[in-house]
Amino acid sequence: MWPKDFADRLEAWTALRAQVHDMELEPALAAVNVWWHQTPWKPYYLHWDDHPRWPDPWQLLSDNVYCSVARGLGILYTISMLDRADMADAELVLTEDGSNLVQVAQGKYILNWKPGTVVNTFQEVKIIRQLKQQKIK
């Protein structure tokens, strides 16, 4: 159940990061993906054209509104705050088909594809726009 109170969401997000910090890569990514797919859905909350005005992680959790871009951004914020070498190349990408995905390990792992699923593949996706983890640190 997704916490209704902002303080509870912050606590849950902190607990998630503590839980996955020392896990193997794939289970850690799966847990992060599942956590962010519990969020309340609202289409068209964030748009790539508004990138300079996207919320920081705390504002994102406070606003508590999540479209596919916002979920992907939340996943990227989480990965960024974990500060793990095996996740250092994570990036949020907009693909040619309009998907907002998070790629990790040079695209081997794809998050924000669908709830409960981390795609493990080296499949190439046609990237239209991207936000690298280093840009949000």
Predicted confidence at residue 114, as pLDDT, reads 76
- Report the alpha-carbon distance of residue 52 to residue 25 in Å, rounded: 30
Kindly write down the DSSP assignment for every residue of 78-99, as one continuous string: HHHHHT-GGGTT-EEEEETTS-
Residue 18 identity: A
- Contact (CB, 8 A) for 33 and 117: yes
Confidence of residue 125 (pLDDT cuts 50, 70, 90): confident
Q: Above 90 in pLDDT, residue 135?
A: no
Beta bridge partners of 117: 114
Residue-wise pLDDT for 31-67, tens only, equals 999 999 999 999 889 999 999 999 999 999 999 999 9
Residue-wise pLDDT for 2-20, tens only, equals 899 999 999 999 999 999 9
- Report the alpha-carbon distance of residue 137 to residue 135 in Å, rounded: 6
Running DSSP on this structure, what letter comes out for residue 45? Answer: S
Count the neighbouring beta carbons within 10 Å of the beta carbon of residue 8: 11
Confidence of residue 111 (pLDDT cuts 50, 70, 90): very high
- Contact (CB, 8 A) for 104 and 33: no
Predicted confidence at residue 121, as pLDDT, reads 66
Which domains, and CATH codes, for the chain?
Answer: 6-136 (3.10.620.30)
Predicted confidence at residue 46, as pLDDT, reads 96
Residue-wise pLDDT for 84-95, tens only, equals 999 999 999 999
Mean pLDDT of 121-135: 75
